[in-house]
Amino acid sequence: MAELAKLPGIGRKTAQRLTFHLLKQPAETAERLAAAIRRVRGQVLACATCGNLADEDPCPICSDPRRDATLLCVVEESGDVGAIERAGRYRGLYHVLGGRLSPLEGIGPDELHVDRLLARLANGSGVREVIVATNPSMEGEATATYLQQVLKPLTGAEGGGGSRIRVTRIARGLPVGGDLEYADAVTIAQALAARRDMSETD
Ligand SMILES: [Zn+2]
């Protein structure tokens, strides 16, 4: 109970309910869960290129030659990659920030993989468009605005070795304050299709 209660979103009551539930199940149910937890720590790692969690590095998306390497979708968490993949429309690559700007939680730009993103884009990556797909929450929007600012030098003709990069933001339509990870596939596909250029006036 004490260990479960340490997990995010699980209070003391839920931890108690989960524990009692497990005790009522056949022993193998609890053993399967324990084995899965052990496996996830031992085998899952963050892809050194995009930050996506996978059981190999580079991850299956980065190492798939059929993916469109001119498109780079920036998301907060690995779970968002899964959500967009389930929507089934996007064929580009990803960059996982590992969170979003949150002054209250002490998460600044240095805590996110922004430097890795810039390094990726600077390396003659062939990326033509960066799609900012942070969550439609206040922190997600602040993160999007921050990214727009740091990516700005790459969008001008003077930037990045003459190769201009377009920076777009997924459309609203996702519930405000919502979480990409839990949005349905149709909503995600529409938000991606209706993405628009980010400019300082909006
Ligand atoms: Zn990857």
Integer Cα distance of 131 and 31 in angstroms: 41
pLDDT at position 194 is 82
Distance 46 CA to ligand 1 centre (A): 8
**CB neighbours (10 Å) of residue 177?**
11
Distance 54 CA to ligand 1 centre (A): 8
Distance 66 CA to ligand 1 centre (A): 14
With bands split at pLDDT 50, 70 and 90, how would you rate the model's confidence at 75? very high
Integer Cα distance of 68 and 90 in angstroms: 9
Integer Cα distance of 36 and 29 in angstroms: 11
> What are the distances in angstroms from CA 77 to CA 13, 160, 180?
27, 27, 10
**CB neighbours (10 Å) of residue 186?**
10
pLDDT at position 77 is 95
pLDDT beyond 90 at 162: no
Distance 189 CA to ligand 1 centre (A): 21
Distance 123 CA to ligand 1 centre (A): 16
| Lowest-confidence pick of 45-49, 59-63, 145-149, 179-183 | 179-183
Distance 50 CA to ligand 1 centre (A): 4
pLDDT beyond 70 at 159: no
Work out the average pLDDT over 102-115: 89
pLDDT beyond 80 at 155: yes
Task: Report CA Rg, the chain.
Answer: 19
pLDDT beyond 70 at 73: yes
Q: Tens digit of pLDDT for each residue in 3-24? A: 999 998 899 999 999 999 999 9
For residue 173, which of 148, 156, 192 has the smallest C-alpha distance?
A: 192
Work out the average pLDDT over 72-101: 95
* Residues lying with their CB under 5 A of ligand 1, a single-atom ion: 47, 49-50, 52, 58-59, 62
Distance 14 CA to ligand 1 centre (A): 34
Residue 120: partners with Cβ closer than 8 Å, 6 or more residues away: 49, 72, 95, 127
Question: What is the chain's mean pLDDT, rounded?
Answer: 88
